Amino acid sequence: MTYRVRLAHLYPDQMNIYGDRGNILSLTQRCAWRGIALELLPVGAGADVDWASVDLAFFGGGQDSGQALIADDFVQRQGPLLRTAIDAGLVLLAICGGYQLLGHYFLTHTGERLPGIGALDVHTVGGGTRLIGNIAIEIDASAQLALPTGTRLVGFENHSGRTYLGAGVRPLGRVLAGHGNNGEDGTEGAVYRNTFGCYMHGSLLPKNPQFADYLIGLALARRYGVAATLAPLDDQLEMAAQRGMLERLVRV
């Protein structure tokens, strides 16, 4: 039997920064290597989307100006059905600017208030300095992900927004090196059901293939109702690069 996955890519033209499209390439290629048929659905401004038919979604980061261009379209056109899909367990990864727009709002450092869809119980406030650099995190036990204890992810962050988590989300991880959600509380990212927001560009998934497979596995489990076993891939180079980065950033 050929497994199928429908992957929606939100605003690929306006929300694609620091190589975020690499996440799409990684998901596409890792599915292709396993004979999983992946259908890519770019979602631009004005698109009507049947979110109930989508298994996996990706929303990349963007400059404040890029976010301002699409925020109203996102909230008004996609918001209601996307929120319903997220509540129903849609697998969604959002990075930085996309993560911010899944929350309640983003108040930019120039005082512009960009609305979010409120799917994640977070809000973001822009600061006068940018939080920039390489980042390493350890997946937090409270995130309740079925990943081995102590799983670490690496990435690159560059944001003025400081994101604060409400009671309705769990942090994705604890910051080992870098700034994370706000540079203050040691958390990075947020998890709600199968939706993951974080500040990790890089691109995230090529650098962290175990997380790419975790998302693909969740999407297959949701569509087919069983935990699909993913054929192992040769990730020696990727994992060596990840280890090298962790050694540079953290004592491992």
Residues identified as active-site: 96, 201
Q: Which is nearer to ligand GLN, 17 or 175 (CB)?
A: 17
Q: Which is nearer to ligand GLN, 17 or 176 (CB)?
A: 17
Q: Binding ligand GLN by CB under 6 A: which of 22, 79, 97, 202? A: 97
The residue type of 123 is H
Strand order of the sheet with strand 195-198?
37-43, 4-10, 56-59, 91-95, 195-198, 190-192
Site string for ligand GLN, 61-90 (x = CB under 6 A): xxxx--x-----------------------
Site string for ligand GLN, 37-66 (x = CB under 6 A): ------------------------xxxx--
Answer for the pair 185, 174: CB distance below 8 angstroms, yes or no. no
Which residue, judged by CB position, is nearest to ligand GLN in the bound state?
61
Q: Binding ligand GLN by CB under 6 A: which of 17, 24, 119, 219? A: 17
Q: Tell me how far, at minimum, the Cβ of 179 lies from ligand GLN, in Å.
A: 11
Structure tokens given for 8? 């929606």
Q: Tell me how far, at minimum, the Cβ of 43 lies from ligand GLN, in Å.
A: 17
Chain Cα centroid distance, residue 220: 18
Q: Does 179 engage in binding with ligand GLN (CB under 6 A)?
A: no
Q: Tell me how far, at minimum, the Cβ of 61 lies from ligand GLN, in Å.
A: 2
Q: Which is nearer to ligand GLN, 111 or 232 (CB)?
A: 111
Find the binding residues for ligand GLN in span 137-176 (CB under 6 A): 158-161
3 state SS for the chain? CCCEEEEEEECCCCCCCCCCHHHHHHHHHHHHHCCCEEEEEEECCCCCCCHHHCCEEEECCCCHHHHHHHHHHHHHHHHHHHHHHHHCCCEEEEECHHHHHHCCEEECCCCCEEECCCCCCEEEEEEEEEEEEEEEEEECHHHCCCCCCCCEEEEEEEEEEEEEECCCCECCEEEEECCCCCCCCCEECEEECCEEEECCECCHHHHCHHHHHHHHHHHHHHHHCCCCCCCCCCCHHHHHHHHHHHHHHCCC
Q: Tell me how far, at minimum, the Cβ of 201 lies from ligand GLN, in Å.
A: 6
Q: Which is nearer to ligand GLN, 31 or 137 (CB)?
A: 137
Q: Tell me how far, at minimum, the Cβ of 112 lies from ligand GLN, in Å.
A: 11
Q: Which is nearer to ligand GLN, 62 or 116 (CB)?
A: 62
Q: How many residues bind ligand GLN (CB under 6 A)?
A: 12
Query: Which residues are at the interface with ligand GLN (CB under 6 A)?
Result: 17, 61-64, 67, 96-97, 158-161
